[in-house]
Amino acid sequence: MAQRSRLQLVSLLVFVGSFQVDVTTACGGEERASYRLEFQGLWSERSFPKSYPKYRKSAQWSTLIGLSHNDRYTMWEPGQLVSQPFKDFAEGEDPSGKQMQSEMVKLQNGSVFAAKSIGSGTGRSTTTVFAHRDYTKISFAVRLIPSPDWFVGVSGLDLCEGGSWRKDPLQLELQPWDAGTDGGFSFTSPDYVTNPQEPITQITSQRPNHPANSFFYPKLDALPPIARVTLVWQPVGDDNSAWMDKLVPVATGLDKAGEDVQMPGDSPEYVFPGIDLPTEPETVIPYDCEVTPWGSWSPCDTLCKVGLRRRFRLVIQPPKNGGRDCPDLIAVEACQAKLTKPQKRCSKARIKKEIKKYMKIQRRNYMGKKKRNRFIV
């Protein structure tokens, strides 16, 4: 009987010891953590002047969709193919990410979170992220609108670093990514299905290496950040049951059945209290005028009793942000082999006057009446 009691006591100690080991594996001894996430759009015409979408649809950001998870889940990853729900989200077929959120909910893998869409290229949106010792990584994505399948985001960011939760404010500069499902080059490209589907690649100032690419700035070594995300640790209350309720998908815009519910009213103007985060000044990219090659020469006319001919070229992209003005868009020359002195004087004056008048009209067309004189030399 005594032998049996000793065995039971040893078993109990082994059980308690194993439980204690499990607790100590929590990040920094804390089982859970909460973060305030702020997404800031930096997509402006001053920073990204080429083909900047100003009309329907103007530059804006979709709903932010994210999840805290472990190594067994990947929302998206550079060099990998995206899932069907992510494809629909990136291409705008599922703008609020309902399918992707439903997929996350079914996985029962951590906490789903979302932040409201932003109706312009610049603005802020916030949400709360909950992490657990078993789900210390976060991933999220936000779609550029309009775009073929471009997005920004974070993949597999571990909030537990060196055995402790990250408690210093974390600020990340975001660059655009191509989901690899649509082959369009510009923000407003028609739908060009990529078949077969390609892996996720980062968009840079020189890749894709094509002049039609809306992010093609060959003179830049790197693009400025198009968005910024800030994560600030915040204390979690002592009520474990209340905190665990946050893990259900109701707080993300979906109920347990995957149906829409009212999302929490996070203010887009939220400011982190007591946190002084450095902000870089807006990057301004000068964009030089781009023109087409010269067209063919016109037939000769008989102005000033001298035959003149003309050729033209068109403006592809007007100058922006102090970029170089467009060169002459008209060339005029005499098309007679020999000219008398009076004919030379007449043709020279006529050519100069005609070029000046034509360029004045064209500058008004591509720069606007109030701005055209700024670039006239």
Say which residues have a Cβ less than 8 Å from residue 125's Cβ, sequence separation at least 6: 38, 39, 61, 64, 115, 116, 117, 118, 266, 268
Quick check: 272 pLDDT over 50?
no
Residue 303: its pLDDT value, please?
67
**pLDDT tens per residue, range 221-246:** 899 999 999 999 998 864 443 433 44
**pLDDT tens per residue, range 123-172:** 999 999 999 998 999 999 999 999 999 999 999 999 998 889 999 999 99
Mean pLDDT calculated for residue range 266-291:
61
Rounded to whole angstroms, the Cα distance separating 262 from 64 reads 15
Pick the more confident residue, 367 or 176. 176
Residue 7: its pLDDT value, please?
44
CA distances from 348 to 152, 308, 332 (A): 56, 10, 10
Residue 364: its pLDDT value, please?
84
CA distances from 330 to 269, 287, 308, 314, 375 (A): 50, 22, 13, 9, 17
Residue 302: its pLDDT value, please?
72
How sure is the predictor about 252, in pLDDT bands with cuts at 50, 70 and 90? very low
Residue 316: its pLDDT value, please?
81
Mean pLDDT calculated for residue range 339-359:
86
Rounded to whole angstroms, the Cα distance separating 181 from 203 reads 14
Residue 365: its pLDDT value, please?
83
pTM: 0.71
Least confident of 180-184, 274-278, 348-352: 274-278
How sure is the predictor about 55, in pLDDT bands with cuts at 50, 70 and 90? confident
How sure is the predictor about 299, in pLDDT bands with cuts at 50, 70 and 90? confident
Quick check: 186 pLDDT over 80?
yes
Pick the more confident residue, 318 or 12. 318
Instruction: Output b/e per residue, 4-29; b: 16+ Cβ within 10 A.
Output: eeeeeeeeeeeeeeeeeeeeeebbee
**pLDDT tens per residue, range 95-116:** 888 888 888 777 766 789 999 9
* Strongest mean pLDDT among 36-50, 242-256, 319-333: 36-50
Angle at 171 between CA 167 and CA 133, to 5 degrees: 40
Quick check: 199 pLDDT over 70?
yes
Separation of first and last alpha carbons in the chain: 107
Q: What percentage of the chain reaches a pLDDT higher than 70?
A: 77
Q: What percentage of the chain reaches a pLDDT higher than 90?
A: 37
Pick the more confident residue, 220 or 260. 220
Rounded to whole angstroms, the Cα distance separating 221 from 362 reads 32
